[in-house]
Every structure is written in C-alpha cells, then in structure tokens.
C-alpha cells in the first residue's frame, strides 16, 4: 500500500516538475508566472484570475463595494519606510499604500506571481535581463505618473550599500542594474539567471517609491509625508492604538479597492483580541498571519464563534534548535548529529501543535523529498507503535561516546519569552536527557535573547524562521550560509556553498530539485549548526464577512487590502 | 511656606539627576542593542557589519557613554527630550499624546479609591468585629490579593460573554468626546480603583482603629458627643494623614503601573508606550518616561506634604 502511495506521490511530483519545466523553459514573456519552485501540482495550473491590472479581473466584478472594516494587529508598525523595515508589522502597514512591480496572486493559487505595477514582462533567453512594461495609468497620489525612473530609483535604493535594508537587501545577491528604456519600460539585469528573482521582487517590502518625493528630501518614515501609488491612503495613526486607511479615489486599477477604508487596531493582549473577535469588534487579524494564537486557541475561536470566525493557516517556515558550534562540545559534528538524532520531533509536534506542524524537512515539506521518504530518515523515524526509533537514540549515545562524552555533558538552553518556546523547552530537556545531555533552561526577554544570539553568547538556542519568500534560496541564505539571519556565527560547509551556487543559477526546476536533494542529504546528517524540528504553522482568524481574503505562501507577501471586500450580511 | 516650597523643589534636582543616572546606566547595561533590533526585526532581517556600524553611528549609540549621557541631559535642560531611535519622532510629541490619557486614568482610579475607601475603612473600624467589618475585610483582602491584570481580563471576559459588549476600541479624549471617553475608561478605572479601594480601606481601618483608642477620643465620647461627630470630626482628621501619604504614593505608582491594564483595555497611554519602547530598546523614550514618572512621584509627594499642613493645624512649614 505504502509503495502505491509513494509511486503516486512520485508520479504527481514528476508531472509537476515536467509542467513547471515546460513553463520555465518556454515562456519569455507573460502577465503572470508560476514561482519556479512549486510545491504542489495545483500550483502549475493556470491562475484563477487575471492579473490585477488596469482592466478589472473577474472577481472584481463579482465583489461588493464599500464599507470600512475594523481589523487588528498585534504590534505597532515600527517604521513606515518599507525599504528600511525588517518586520511584517511595518510591511502590513505600508503594503496597501504602495505597489510592487510584481506580486503574488490575491486569489488562489496564491503562489502564482502576477503583475502589480508591471502589466507584463519579458525575460531574455539567457535569463539575465528582465524587461518590465508598466501600466501607463499608474500614478502617485499627487497626480504624477509612476514611471520607469521611479522603478530604477527604488530598485537601487533597495540595495543601497551601507544603508539598513534588512529585507530588501536580499535582492543584492541577484540584482545587478536597471535602466529606464522609456517612461513605462524598465530593463533590469541580474547577476546570473536567478529563478528566485521574481519571487523576491514580489515580497511586500519591495515596493516602488516616488523618486521625486525622496529626492526632495522628504522623510517617508513619517506617515503624513507618504505619497504612494497604492489603493489606500493613511487616515490616521496613533502609536499603540490604531492606524487607518481610506480608499484612494483615483486609484489606477479599475474597480479597486473594494473597501472604503480600514481601521487597524493595535491589540497586544491576546485575551483582548480574542474577545474583540468574538464580539465582532474586529473582523480579523490584518492579513496575513502572525496573530499569535496557537492552533489550539485558533480552533477554539472557530468553534466558539460558531463558524463566524474562520481560521486560515500556512506553514510559515522551518523551526530549529541551533547550537553554538564555536563552543565545546558543539564544535564536534558528532555531538551536533547526536542532538539531531535524539530530538523527538513527533512528540514536540503533538504537544505544541496537536500534530499540525509540517515535517522537519530542510525545504518546504514535499517540495524536494516526498514526506513518506522523510519519515525514513534517521532522527525522523518512528516504530509502528509511534515510539521514537530506538536505533536513533542508540546511535546518538554512540556518537557522544565516540566524541568523548560517554557520560554526557551539561549545557544551557536559552529561549526567548515569546511564542511557544517556553512550552517546548521542558520537552527538549527531557529528550536530550535520554542521551545524557543535561540542559539548564534559561528564559530571556526577547530583545536580550536576540542580542545574545547575535553575539554568540549561548550554548543552544531556539527560533522559528518565518520565510520571506517561498524559495530554497531563502533557506540557504538565511540559515546555511554565513551572514544569514539564522547563521550569525558564520557556520559554513563548502559543499553546501557549492550546491547553493549551482542551484541558484539553475533555471531548470528538475535539475534544480536534484541539486537541492543533494543539499538536503548533507543537511539531514545533522552536522550543521541548525537542527530542524518542524515547519511551524501560523494561523490567522478572519470573520466570514471579510471576503476574498487568502493567505499568501508566506507571511511577508500579499498583505495588501486592495482585493478584499466586506459583506455585512454574510453568514457562517 | 514659600521658602519650604522652594527648598523642596530644589531637592528635586539631585533626586532627578540620580534617577537619570540610574535609568541611563540600566538601559546601557541591559542586553539589547537598538541598532541590532532595527536590523533584525523579529530575528529575520539580514545585514552586514558595515550597515550595523553605520546605523549605530546614525543613532549615536556608538558614542562613549559619557557623551551620550551628556547629550541627553543637555537636551533635557533645553527642553528637548530627544527623538525615537526607530521612527525619529520627537519624544516630547509622543509623551504629550499619551500622558493626559494615563494621568486621567490614574486620577480617576485614585479618586474612586479615596472616595470609597475612606468611609469604608472608617465604618469598618467603627463596627470592628461585626458582620460589616468582616464583609469589608473579605472584599478588601480579595482586592489586595487579586492581581489587577487578572481582574481586568475577568472584566473583559464577563463583558463580552454576558453582556456582548466591550469598551470601544477607538480612543476618544475627554475633551473631544466625554461620553465615549467614559465608556472606555470606566472599566479600567473600576479595575484599578478596586485595588485602590481595597488597599486604602485597609490603611484607613487600621489608622482609624489606632486613633479611636486615643485619650482625646475617649474624652469626646465622655462629654457626650454623638458617635458620628466623634468619628468624622475628631478621629478622621487625625487618621487621614497616613491615608493621604499612601494615596500620593499610589498615584505615582499608578503612573508606571498601568501597563497591563492599558494593554488589556487598549488604551494608548504612557504605560503601553513604555512597554513597547522597552521591547524595542528605544532609549530616549524609556528614559524620558521613567524620569517623568519620577517627577510625578516627587510632585504627588510634595502635594501630600502640603496637604498635611492644611489638614493638621499643628503642622507648619517654615
């Protein structure tokens, strides 16, 4: 039976990759493109809607218009300059004020890339040159047209050397230069043919800013100074209380936005957020996810609201335990592998997420290695009665003994006082105790924890990594290559570097997948600094009165409100 | 009196200098670099060492500590509290927005506490060991023991579950929309006020009991004064002084202690600003808010001391 399932999975995967290969190899122009790293067969199907452009897509005609909705967010937007922003709090606040060149499809399949300011684009045969054709109607709120000069200026600003660009800086690896061919045509050159380039351009941080405003020295970090091109304008901001949007009456996309406005309340207390949701004081957590509710809490909200509040969920990224490989005994790869083998991922998943976290794969579950196959990997395998395979624990003990720690050792497990880290810690402690590692649990305030991790002042740490875009490049650059946000101590394996350099340039998805499988084979030996424990789920509660709301593939994309509408009469 | 006032206000200076030194030092000792946090976000942002250095330079956090402290103090002397390290907005503007909200909430809670606690405490003392006293003690003991944030959550849940109503989320200032302002602040006031009532009532009770045993009270009763006059004219005037001291102290405490209540009831006061700034290590805001809390404590204590003289003719300041 399992062989049949496996064959089925492989067949679907081959079909998927074949289809993707066809898409990737042939089109050099279009109005939409699937992301080159696809995780399901469905993603290769044609998009459910035309790309949002000047001509209204079909779903716009079906939508109701008007109304101002109340939503909530769990934190203040720290910065209003999207290129300087590092968090989803800022991205969510600014995304509806501006446009990107390309974006993720607001209707399923949401991992499809469609145009935003670009009505279409072409890619040269060598994959090095992108030519974007902009909507002629696009204009800034002050009436000036959005031009190719704005795009060139913004792209250069996103990668400006020496300036804080915590998210847009990801483009540096790919972006070479750009130039305006005419007022509505931009040519962008990449350093190499990069399958992930469009995906990065579609992230919410990569918005196009008005050159004339910035060159006039106006600080766009002040909400009142913002001149955007987006569907909404700022209509008030009080730190710690709310920020509000009102529709841009001269928005250049026909029929959009659908709402008159939105008011986003800052509610930091989860209990207060819950009661506000239940009494319809707010209709949801502003797209996208990161509401802070656990799966169980979210399910309780759905149940108690009798279907008025629905939960949308995604696998947000890999979660891991990371070790300080510059300290003894973690400098020994055998010790790192022993920990990798000893972690009981299923127990953690059941205890924290009721089994709803994704398997602890390197890349998105199912995208490179079939999930069934992952369950046979050492460290991930279980006996028929659901117990952790004893071979893994035996091997872990043998490795520790070989490394000179037959009697185990003591270490500090440092975690921040947020998310689920505190709930997990006792499980990790008990699991590692089985191979003789005695952990002292140390809880620290969040900012202090991040500082300690950056400075290497820890033995073992713990963090979930919410990916910016859904592409293996992000996993490599954030976790497995030196300088990444999850690799601040600079762990490097030349084999992984080599595979990264090859796959990042590989336009053929099938060949790219083979390279990624090789990388996965190296990483799953458990000898790197990062020990995957799962792909963690995140949930967003949303009232049924809010229509056309779909989570994007990550929490850092598709946070615009332009496609959402309000149906006050909607019932569960 | 005016000399006393000048002397007391002059004494504020060394106290505030000491507070400024402590808060400045604690902020710098505490782990967490604002430049690093700006670049890291929630831990996912990436940056180079050069970008980090540039940002530290821009924020001024790369300067020697003495220079940073001097710049801050010199700014304050000139009425400039600095700018947020994150969004560059003037700290004074942020505090001006928030301070009236917290002041109003704290004043309402203390007033509510005082108005209810004093008669309750006197009554409890006058009816010592009767059912009135027992009931009062149970209610006040619970109020002191129950954490304020827990009572706050309980109130929110009851309002939502039972009454299907919650205080409005959009905050309205008292002078803009008094009715909406009242709807928003009445429940946090009751929650905070409950603790104040409980605490002050217990202080009033024990203070009153002590005075009730004094000779002059026995004399007043012996000469045939009615109990009401004995209690409210002779006893209360003397037992109120420690209650006043505590009230002044409580007001200062509330200025920094409403953090959780502001979060639960979504009130944009200085408490939520402080906690948000602490998470972000926004030093100028944190330093200004703590210094402000110290000023409020000093001022409230001064006002209490001045009230002593009004209430007790034996006290004279010179």
ipTM: 0.82
> For residues B45 and A556, is the Cβ–Cβ distance under 8 A?
no
Rounded to whole angstroms, how far apart are CA atoms A346 and A358? Answer: 10
- pLDDT above 70 for A474: yes
Q: Which residues of A touch B156 (CB under 8 A)?
A: 271-272, 275
Angle, alpha carbons B275-B261-B101 (nearest 5°): 80
Collapsing DSSP to helix, strand or coil, A531 comes out as: strand
Would you say residue A39 has pLDDT above 50? no
A468 and A323 belong to one structural domain: yes
Closest CA to A105 of A40, A44, A52: A52
CB-based contact (8 Å) between A517 and chain B?
A: no
For A90, nearest residue in chain B (alpha carbons): B41
- pLDDT digits 0-9 by tens, A300-336: 889 999 899 999 888 999 999 999 999 999 999 999 9
A85–B41: do the CB atoms touch at under 8 Å? yes
Q: Where are the beta strands (DSSP E) in B42-196?
A: none
Name the residue among B31, B43, B55 with its Cβ closest to that of A463.
B43
| pTM of this structure | 0.84
**Angle CA B80–B84–B86, to nearest 5:** 160
| B260 vs A contacts (CB less than 8 Å) | 269
Tell me what pLDDT residue A360 has: 95
Residue A51 has pLDDT above 60, yes or no: no
CB contact under 8 A, B171 and A466: no
Could you read off the pLDDT of A147-194 as tens digits, one per residue? 999 999 999 999 998 888 989 988 998 999 999 999 999 999 999 998
Query: Does residue A436 lie in a domain region?
Result: yes
Question: CA–CA separation, B180 vs A536, rounded Å?
Answer: 41
Domain assignment of residue A371, yes or no: yes
Judged by CB atoms closer than 8 Å, whether chains meet at B48 and A483 is answered as: yes
Axis crossing angle, helix B283-311 with helix B91-126, rounded to the nearest 10:
40
Size of interface A-B (CB pairs under 8 A): 159
Residue A16 has pLDDT above 80, yes or no: no
Measured between CA atoms, how close is B39 to chain A, in angstroms? 5
Query: CA nearest A469 in B: which residue?
Result: B44
A87 touches chain B (CB under 8 A): yes
Report pLDDT for B317. 66
Confidence band, pLDDT 50/70/90 cuts, at residue A472: very high
| Nearest neighbour of B88 by CB, restricted to A70, A169, A221 | A221
Taking residue B24's Cβ as centre, other Cβ atoms within 10 Å add up to 20
Contacts A166 to B, Cβ<8 Å: 38-41, 45-47
- The torsion angles phi and psi of A357, rounded to 5 degrees, stand at -75, 155
All residues of chain B having their beta carbon less than 8 Å from the beta carbon of residue A158 are none
Residue A377's pLDDT is 95
Split at pLDDT 50, 70, 90, the class of A362 is very high
For residue A443, give the H/E element and its range.
strand A437-444
Chain A positions touching B42 (Cβ under 8 A) are 86-88, 466
- Which residue does chain A place closest to B45, by CA atoms? A166
Mutate to test the interface with A, among B44, B56, B88, B180 (most CBs of A within 10 A): B44
Of A252, A271, A251, the C-alpha closest to A260 is: A251
Tens digits of per-residue pLDDT, A260-295? 999 999 998 888 999 999 999 999 987 665 677 888
* C-alpha distances in Å from residue A26, one per residue of A19, A33, A46, A101, A250: 11, 11, 15, 22, 38
Q: Map A310-378 to HEC letters.
A: EEEEEEEEEEEEEECCCCCCCCCHHHHHHHHHHCCHHHHHHHHHCCCCECCCCCCCCCCCCHHHHCCCC
Convert the pLDDT of each residue in B70-124 to its tens digit. 999 999 999 899 999 988 889 999 899 889 999 999 999 999 988 999 889 988 8
Q: Which residue of B has its CA nearest to A73?
A: B266
pLDDT score of A40 more than 80: no
- CB–CB of B156 and A278 under 8 A? no
**Burial of A445 from C-beta contacts in 10 A (0-12 / 13-18 / 19+):** middle
Q: Is A368 inside any structural domain?
A: yes
- Verify that A469 and A362 share a domain, yes or no: yes
In the predicted structure, residue A53 carries a pLDDT above the cut 70: no
Answer whether residue A2 is part of any domain: no
Say yes or no: A430 contacts chain B, CB-CB below 8 A. Answer: no
How far is it, in rounded angstroms, from Cα A368 to Cα A521? 11
Backbone angles phi, psi at A76, to 5 degrees: -70, 145
Q: Which of B48, B157, B269 sits opposite A275 (nearest CB)?
A: B157
CB-CB neighbors (< 8 A) of B28 in chain A: none
A173 shares its domain with A240: no
Q: What is the pLDDT of residue A194?
A: 87
Per the document, the length of chain A is 572
Residue A516 CA to residue A363 CA, distance in Å, equals 8
Among the three residues A214, A245, A276, which one is the final residue of a domain in this structure? A214
**What does the pLDDT average to over A97-111?**
92
pLDDT of residue B233: 79
Helix (H, G, I), strand (E, B) or coil at A414: strand
User: A565-566 and A309-323 as β-strands: parallel, antiparallel, unpaired?
Assistant: unpaired
Read off the pLDDT band of A216 (50, 70, 90): very high
Q: Which residues contact A378 (CB under 8 A, 6 or more apart)?
A: A341, A389, A391, A392, A395, A524, A526
Residues in A touching B45 (Cβ below 8 Å): 86-87, 166-167, 485
Closest CA to A361 of A43, A109, A39: A39
**Minimal C-alpha gap between A240 and chain B (Å):** 5
What DSSP state is assigned to residue A284?
B
CA distance A86 to A202: 16
Query: Is A532 found in the same domain as A474?
Result: yes
Q: Would you call A478 an interface residue with chain B, using a CB distance cutoff of 8 Å?
A: yes
CB B171 within 8 A of CB B183: no
Residue A41 reports pLDDT greater than 50: no
pLDDT score, position A31: 55
Q: CB neighbours of A528 closer than 8 A, spacing ≥ 6?
A: A336, A480, A491, A493, A496
Cβ distance of B39 and A86 shorter than 8 Å? yes
Instruction: Mark whether A323 and A305 lie in a shared domain.
Output: no
Q: What proportion of chain A, given as a percentage, has pLDDT over 90?
A: 66
A164 with B38: Cβ contact below 8 A: yes
Q: Which residues of B touch A88 (CB under 8 A)?
A: 42
Which residue, among B219, B257, B217, B256, has the nearest Cα to B237 in the 3D structure? Answer: B217
Q: pLDDT band for A7, please (50, 70, 90 cuts).
A: very low
Structural tokens at position A182: 């005419």
Looking at beta carbons, which residues of chain A come within 8 Å of B164?
279
Domain boundary residue, one of A187, A214, A241:
A214
One DSSP character per residue, A22-91 reads HHHHS-SEESEEE-SS--SGGGGSPPSSPPSSSSPPHHHHHS----EEEEEESS--S-S-TTT--SHHHH
| pLDDT of A12 | 39
B45 and A166 within 8 Å at the Cβ level: the answer is yes
Phi and psi at A459, nearest 5°, equal -95, -60
Residue given tokens 């009798």 in the structure block: A306
C-beta atoms of A447 and B171 within 8 A: no
CB B272 within 8 A of CB B227: no
A157 CA: distance to closest CA in chain B (Å) = 14
Structural domain total, chain A: 3
**pLDDT (0 to 100) of residue A30:** 53
Contact A271, B157 (CB under 8 A): yes
Quick check: A488 pLDDT over 80?
yes
Nearest to A164 among B55, B98, B171 (CB): B55
**pLDDT band at A2, cuts 50/70/90?**
very low
Contact A221/B at CB under 8 A = yes
Shortest distance, CA A447 to any CA of chain B (angstroms): 5
**Residue ranges in chain B whose pLDDT is less than 50:** none
Name the helix (H) or strand (E) containing A120. Answer: strand A118-123
**Looking at residue A44, what is its pLDDT?**
29
Residues A128 and A232 in one domain: no
User: Is A468 in contact with B31 (Cβ distance < 8 A)?
Assistant: no
A481 in the same domain as A371: yes
Q: Which of B34, B35, B45 to mutate to test the interface with A (most CBs of A within 10 A)?
A: B45
Residue A86 lies in a domain: no
State the Cα angle at B304 between B298 and B307, rounded to 5°: 145
Q: Do A265 and B42 touch (CB under 8 A)?
A: no
Facing B164 at nearest CB: one of A164, A279, A463: A279
Contact B31 A451 (CB under 8 A): yes
| Terminal C-alpha separation, chain B | 5
Provide, rounded to the nearest whole percent, the portion of chain A with pLDDT above 70: 89
Contact B112, B199 (CB under 8 A): no
B68-99 as b/e: b if 16+ CB within 10 A: bbeebeebbeeeebbbbbbbeeebeebbebbb
Residues A425 and A337 in one domain: yes
Q: Indicate yes or no: CB of B170 within 8 angstroms of CB of A242.
A: yes
Q: What are the DSSP E strand ranges found in A201-333?
A: 207-208, 232-238, 242-247, 261-266, 309-323
On whether any CB of chain B is under 8 Å from the CB of A431, the answer is: no
Cross-chain CB nearest to A239 (options B43, B94, B153): B94
Asked whether the beta carbons of B140 and B202 are under 8 A apart, the reply is yes
> Is the pLDDT reported for residue A343 higher than 70?
yes
- The answer on A378 and A502 residing in a single domain is yes
**Is residue A11 within 8 angstroms of chain B, CB to CB?**
no
How far A239 CA lies from chain B's nearest CA (Å)? 7
Residue A415 in any domain: the answer is yes
Residue A74 within any structural domain of the chain: no
Residue A85 lies in a domain: no
| Higher-confidence position of A59 and A387 | A387
| Residues of A whose CB is below 8 A from B51 | 162-165, 169
Distance from CA of A550 to the nearest CA of B (A): 23
Q: Which residues of B touch A279 (CB under 8 A)?
A: 160, 164-166
Residues A134 and A272 in one domain: no
Residue numbers of the domain that contains A37: 20-64+103-214
- Closest residue to B44, CB basis, from A266, A271, A466: A466
Cα–chain-centroid distance for residue B85? 26
Phi, psi of A419 (to 5 degrees): 50, -135
Per-residue pLDDT averaged across A496-517, rounded? 93
What was the pLDDT predicted at A22? 34
- In this prediction, residue B108 carries a pLDDT of 93
Q: Are residues A450 and A351 in the same domain?
A: yes
**Residues A277 and A377 placed together within one structural domain of the fold:** no
Nearest CA to B114 among B203, B5, B232, B214? B203
Is the distance from CB of B106 to CB of B297 less than 8 angstroms?
no
Q: A309-323 and A530-543 as β-strands: parallel, antiparallel, unpaired?
A: antiparallel
Chain A residue numbers with beta carbons less than 8 Å from the beta carbon of B265 are 272
Domain of A145, CATH number, reads 3.90.76.10
> CB-CB: which of B47, B50, B86 is closest to A166?
B47
**Secondary-structure percent of chain B, ordered helix, strand, coil, rounded to 5:** 75, 0, 25
Question: Cβ of B281 and A447 within 8 Å?
Answer: yes
CATH code: domain of residue A510: 3.10.105.10
Does A438 contact B at CB distance below 8 Å?
no
| Phi–psi pair at A75, nearest 5 degrees | -160, 160
């Amino acid at each position: 039976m399992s062989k049949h399932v496996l064959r089925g999975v492989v067949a679907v995967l081959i079909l998927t990759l074949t289809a993707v290969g066809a898409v990737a190899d042939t089109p050099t122009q279009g109005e939409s493109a699937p992301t080159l790293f696809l995780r399901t067969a469905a993603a290769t199907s044609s998009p459910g809607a035309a790309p949002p452009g000047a001509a209204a897509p079909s779903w716009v005609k079906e939508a109701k218009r008007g109304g101002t909705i109340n939503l909530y967010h769990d934190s203040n937007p720290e910065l209003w300059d999207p290129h300087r922003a590092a968090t989803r709090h800022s991205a969510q606040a600014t995304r509806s004020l501006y446009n990107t060149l390309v974006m993720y499809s607001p209707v399923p399949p949401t991992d499809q890339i469609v145009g935003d300011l670009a009505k279409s684009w072409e890619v040269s045969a060598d994959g090095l040159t992108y030519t974007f054709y902009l909507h002629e109607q696009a204009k800034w709120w002050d009436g000036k047209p959005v031009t190719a000069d704005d795009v060139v200026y913004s792209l250069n600003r996103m990668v400006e050397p020496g300036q804080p660009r915590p998210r847009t800086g990801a483009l540096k690896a790919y972006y070479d230069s750009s130039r305006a061919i005419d007022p509505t045509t931009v040519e962008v050159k990449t350093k190499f043919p990069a399958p992930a380039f469009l995906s990065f351009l579609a992230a919410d941080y990569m918005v196009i800013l008005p050159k004339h405003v910035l060159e006039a020295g106006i600080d766009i970090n002040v909400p009142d100074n913002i001149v955007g091109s987006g569907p909404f304008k700022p209509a008030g901001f009080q730190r710690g209380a709310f920020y509000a949007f009102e529709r841009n009456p001269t928005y250049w996309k026909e029929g959009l936005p659908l709402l008159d406005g939105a008011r986003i309340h800052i509610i930091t207390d989860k209990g207060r957020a819950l009661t506000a949701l239940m009494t319809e004081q707010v209709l949801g957590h502003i797209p996208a996810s990161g509401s802070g509710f656990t799966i169980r809490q979210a399910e309780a909200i759905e149940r108690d609201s009798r279907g008025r509040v629905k939960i949308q969920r995604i696998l947000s990224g890999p979660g891991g335990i990371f070790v300080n490989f510059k300290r003894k005994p973690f400098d020994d790869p055998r010790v790192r592998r022993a920990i990798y083998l000893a972690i009981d991922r299923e127990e953690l998943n059941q205890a924290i997420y009721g089994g709803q976290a994704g398997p602890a794969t390197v890349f998105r579950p199912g995208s490179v290695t079939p999930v069934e196959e992952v369950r046979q990997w050492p460290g991930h395998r279980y006996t028929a009665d659901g117990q952790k395979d004893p071979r893994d624990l035996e091997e872990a003990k043998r490795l520790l003994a070989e490394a000179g720690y037959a009697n185990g050792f003591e270490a500090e497990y440092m975690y921040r006082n947020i998310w689920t880290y505190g709930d997990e810690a006792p499980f990790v402690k008990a699991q590692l105790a089985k191979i003789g590692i005695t952990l002292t649990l140390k809880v620290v305030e969040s900012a202090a924890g991040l500082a300690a991790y950056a400075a290497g002042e820890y033995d073992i740490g713990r963090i979930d990594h919410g990916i910016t875009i859904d592409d293996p490049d992000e996993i490599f650059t954030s976790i497995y290559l030196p300088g990444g946000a999850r690799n601040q101590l600079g762990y490097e394996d030349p084999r992984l570097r080599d595979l990264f350099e090859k796959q990042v340039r590989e336009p053929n998805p099938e060949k790219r997948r083979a390279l990624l499988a090789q990388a996965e084979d190296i990483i799953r030996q458990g000898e790197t600094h990062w020990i995957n424990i799962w792909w963690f789920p995140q949930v967003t509660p949303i009232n049924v009165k809010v229509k056309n709301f779909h989570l994007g593939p990550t929490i850092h994309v598709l946070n615009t409100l332009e496609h959402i509408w309000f149906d006050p009469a909607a019932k569960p | 009196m005016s000399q006393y006032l000048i002397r007391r206000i002059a004494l504020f200076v060394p106290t505030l200098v000491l507070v400024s030194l402590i808060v400045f030092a604690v902020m710098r000792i505490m782990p967490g670099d604002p430049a690093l946090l700006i670049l890291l976000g929630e831990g996912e942002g990436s940056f180079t060492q050069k970008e980090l250095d540039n940002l530290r330079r821009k924020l001024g956090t790369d300067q020697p500590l003495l220079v940073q402290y001097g710049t801050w103090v010199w700014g304050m002397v000139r009425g400039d509290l600095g700018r947020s390290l994150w969004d560059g907005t003037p700290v004074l503007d942020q505090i001006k927005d928030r301070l009236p909200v917290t002041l109003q909430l704290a004043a309402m809670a203390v007033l509510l506490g005082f108005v209810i606690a004093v008669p309750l405490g006197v009554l409890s003392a006058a009816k010592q060991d009767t059912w009135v006293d027992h009931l009062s003690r149970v209610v006040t003991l619970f109020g002191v023991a129950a954490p304020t944030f827990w009572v706050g959550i309980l109130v929110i849940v009851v309002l939502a579950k039972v009454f299907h109503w919650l205080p409005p989320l959009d905050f309205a200032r008292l002078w803009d929309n008094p009715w909406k302002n009242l709807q928003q602040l009445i429940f946090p006031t009751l929650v905070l006020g409950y603790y104040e009532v409980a605490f002050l009532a217990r202080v009033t009770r024990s203070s009153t009991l002590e005075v009730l045993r004094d000779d002059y009270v026995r004399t007043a009763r012996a000469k045939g004064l009615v109990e009401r006059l004995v209690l409210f004219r002779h006893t209360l005037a003397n037992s109120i002084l420690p209650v006043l001291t505590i009230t002044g102290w409580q007001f200062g405490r509330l200025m920094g202690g409403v953090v959780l209540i502001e979060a639960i009831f979504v009130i944009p006061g200085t408490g939520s600003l402080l906690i948000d700034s602490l998470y972000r290590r926004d030093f100028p805001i944190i330093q200004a808010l703590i210094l402000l809390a110290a000023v409020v404590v000093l001022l409230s204590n001064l006002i209490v001391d001045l009230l002593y003289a009004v209430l007790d003719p034996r006290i004279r300041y010179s």
